[in-house]
Structure 1
Amino acid sequence: MVTRRELLLKTVGVAVCSSLELNSFAGIKDTSLNVPSWDFLKEGDVIDVIAPSSPIDDPQERYKKIEKYFKENTPFKINIPDHLIEPTALLDEANTIWKRAKFVYDAFSSESKAIWAISGGGWGASILGELMSYPKPDKIKPIIGYSDITALHIYANEYLNFPSIHSVVLGINGDISPGYNKNGIGATLDILSGKKTEVMYELSPLNKLAASMTEVTGKIVGGNSLLVSALNGAPGLSLKTKGKFLFLESIADDPGQFSRKLMGLAYSPVIKDCLGVIFGDVIKDGGKINSPLVQSQFDYIIHRFAEQFIEDKIALKANNLFGHGAINMPLPLNTFAVVKRSGANITATISTNRV
């Protein structure tokens, strides 16, 4: 008698081989399925800066560092709007809801080619209602950032069906002012310029299905687990994951809190419909390494989730690549991707701008 697990393994093995034969990743042609969604930046092109979440410390000094870096190291121009950061008194938001949303809308409406968040923090989800009251932009631009910027990744990926880039924020990184992330902005600039048209990362299997899969094509969506969980079920902002991998990273949750978020997602279409789940960094306290006990608890929660709750999904781990750790590499979201296993090695090859 064939068990459900064996049937799943056989079925997925056939499906993923067939899908790649129809459209191999190497040398992708401009088909209706894999066309560029946004143009690579050229000399003189502008990147708009937004502050949709929390303020940075000493904004004027940080602006100078950003402008100096771009002038000395890139052919691009940077636009930091006047009055971008005017912290609110009680909640310490970067600005009022109306102004933060308007800066994002203006960035989509301008002649710039990309939009880069200066910081994450909190409060980003509060602008989504106001932002959705504006007409949808007709020009595709990548929004760049991570953490609380997940609110805008979901807005871009789900509400607009645009791609985006999960990456270091512009004002807090190894080149401008180190925070949790110590790496700089060079890898993200390589994507924006077209120097890199695809990125490749090694992943580790978390369950039997992942360890036995061959190749599968899809897209990657998601981000910070708190925002993915909080917006799950919201009209226009609940990720539709059919044919996609869900990416999750976490900060500031203890193991119990993180587990509850996973359980909430496990019983919803965001998990039930997805191809699989890719876990990034899961860190209890920002800027600190998890204690051995906490790390063992996170590891157990993730492995149990992969083996018992999503055994029919491809569960993968990106080790020290994405999230609130020292290294936060750029991860294109809502673009064409191939996940491939060769022996014990699994790699994800992700287009930077093709959908």
Structure 2
Amino acid sequence: MLGLGALAAALALPAAAAPAAPGAVAKPPRLRQGDVVGLIAPAGFSDDLEELEQIKSNIAGMGLVPKVGAHVLTRYGYLAGSDHQRAADLNAMYADKDVCAVFAVHGGWGSARMLPHLDWKTIRANPKLLVGFSDITALHLAFAAQAGFPTVHAPNAANGWLEQTWNSFWTLAFQGDTPTLLNPDPGPDPGPDPLLQQRWRTATIRVGKASGRLLGGNLSVLAALVGTPYLPDFSGAILFLEDTGEAEYRIDRMLTQLGQAGILRRVAGVVFGQCTGCQIDVTGYSGFSLPQVLAQHLVPLGVPAFSGALIGHVANQFAIPVGVRAEIDAAVGSISILEPAVAI
């Protein structure tokens, strides 16, 4: 994470937040230099004190003040404490008037287990940005369904925050701007890395533009929430997805589930980001490729769709606001944010 403190100090901040419109769901306050942010571990555990100190240093480099949850270093099997303990940390951060936002430390697995133990009344009454990705998708979607205010799909606090990630997060969370997110252009010559153009390339699945509420995250986690009260209404939504370590047939299986559950037919558009390590490692494999799987499920929807956006388990991923209106242009692979994620 290079130069976050210097960059944060150099950028000007907008004026104080305006009150929400009558009847509107209050948005989280934008972040400011010196704000206290909570660190929670809603999923996998880590008892590495040195790593925690590095995480706190990274947060300080953003110009923020870290406040560590009581059970961040607790271990319960492969989880960071019991379901009640992990939920208690999140509930405490939303009840704490000094805390302005909440960052997940790690992903892994376990966020969904604590959803029944969250204090939704307190969370709704205290809108604060929730930041994280991967398993944290369970929280993003549950917040969209139960709390109604935006969150930010971005690296967990223990992950890397490279320039593109930091810039998109700063723009959304500190400035309250509405950027257009577009993969970097490597130019006509990818240089010494022949995979560069392939890695940054987006692919149009079905051409067109569409607008709607941005909802999504990790496909595996989303699929596991089908049938629970923690999945929001996807009617007219822009669905964004990503995954890691899932073979093509498992992506096929999960998209089949979303289709048969009626979710896919309700969306206005789809962005399938990165699927890191999603090729089956079998010599002589002759099944469907990932692009073929995506086409089979998304083309029949008749809505704009593209793949390859820098969302997911990759370095320098975009920070994506969850629960705000956006427009996609599948021909160029862009995501234009149409409303601030924070109160400005």
Q: TM-score, normalised by structure 2?
A: 0.78
Contact 1:335 1:354 in 2 (8 A): no
Percent identity over the alignment? 21
Deviation at 1:253, TM superposition (A): 1.6
Q: Distance in 1 between matches of 2:30 and 2:286?
A: 42
Tell me the equivalent position of 1:313: 303
CA distance 1:55–1:268, shift in 2 (3 Å) = same
Q: Distance in 2 between matches of 1:65 and 1:109?
A: 26
Deviation at 1:174, TM superposition (A): 4.8
In structure 1, runs of 5+ residues without a counterpart are 1-29, 176-181
Contact 1:283 1:325 in 2 (8 A): yes
One of 126, 131, 135 as aligned partner of 1:148? 135
One of 18, 27, 36 as aligned partner of 1:37? 27
Q: In the alignment, residue 267 of structure 1 is paired with which amino acid?
A: Q
CA distance 1:32–1:270, shift in 2 (3 Å) = farther
Q: Does 1:266 align with 2:259?
A: yes
Deviation at 1:33, TM superposition (A): 9.4
Deviation at 1:123, TM superposition (A): 1.3
Q: State the Cα deviation string for residues 208-265 of structure 1 (Å, max 9, x = none).
A: xxx1x3x433111011111111111212x12211121111111222111110100110
CA distance 1:290–1:337, shift in 2 (3 Å) = farther
One of 212, 217, 242 as aligned partner of 2:211? 217
Q: Distance in 1 between matches of 2:217 and 2:115?
A: 16
Q: State the Cα deviation string for residues 177-218 of structure 1 (Å, max 9, x = none).
A: xxxxx9764542443221x612312364212xxx1x3x4331
One of 95, 105, 110 as aligned partner of 2:91? 105
Deviation at 1:334, TM superposition (A): 0.4
1:86-101 paired onto structure 2 within 5 Å: 86-88=74-76, 91-101=77-87
CA distance 1:57–1:283, shift in 2 (3 Å) = farther
The SS at the match of 2:299 is helix
Q: In the alignment, residue 162 of structure 1 is paired with which amino acid?
A: F
Q: In the alignment, residue 94 of structure 1 is paired with which amino acid?
A: A
One of 53, 58, 74 as aligned partner of 1:64? 53
Number of aligned residues: 304
Q: Distance in 1 between matches of 2:253 and 2:177?
A: 37
The SS at the match of 1:269 is coil
Q: In the alignment, residue 273 of structure 1 is paired with which amino acid?
A: R
CA distance 1:62–1:252, shift in 2 (3 Å) = same
Q: In the alignment, residue 235 of structure 2 is paired with which amino acid?
A: K
Tell me the equivalent position of 1:18: none
Tell me the equivalent position of 1:163: 150
Deviation at 1:331, TM superposition (A): 0.6
CA distance 1:346–1:224, shift in 2 (3 Å) = closer
Deviation at 1:119, TM superposition (A): 0.6
Contact 2:248 2:288 in 1 (8 A): no
CA distance 1:199–1:35, shift in 2 (3 Å) = farther
Q: Does 1:198 align with 2:178?
A: yes
Q: In the alignment, residue 205 of structure 2 is paired with which amino acid?
A: L
Tell me the equivalent position of 1:240: 233
Q: Distance in 1 between matches of 2:286 and 2:107?
A: 25
The SS at the match of 2:179 is strand
Q: Does 1:339 align with 2:319?
A: no
Q: Distance in 1 between matches of 2:282 and 2:305?
A: 22
The SS at the match of 1:43 is coil
Tell me the equivalent position of 1:122: 109
CA distance 1:354–1:316, shift in 2 (3 Å) = farther
CA distance 1:306–1:102, shift in 2 (3 Å) = same
Tell me the equivalent position of 2:5: none
The SS at the match of 1:322 is coil
Q: TM-score, normalised by structure 1?
A: 0.76
Deviation at 1:124, TM superposition (A): 1.2
Q: In the alignment, residue 320 of structure 2 is paired with which amino acid?
A: L
Computed over aligned residues only, the root mean square deviation of the Cα atoms, in angstroms, reads: 3.2
Deviation at 1:108, TM superposition (A): 1.1
Deviation at 1:94, TM superposition (A): 1.0
- Which region of structure 1 is more displaced relative to structure 2, 45-54 or 276-285? 276-285
Q: Distance in 2 between matches of 1:183 and 1:296?
A: 33
Q: Distance in 2 between matches of 1:131 and 1:157?
A: 14
The SS at the match of 1:345 is coil
Contact 2:41 2:71 in 1 (8 A): no
Q: Distance in 1 between matches of 2:283 and 2:341?
A: 38
Contact 2:161 2:316 in 1 (8 A): no
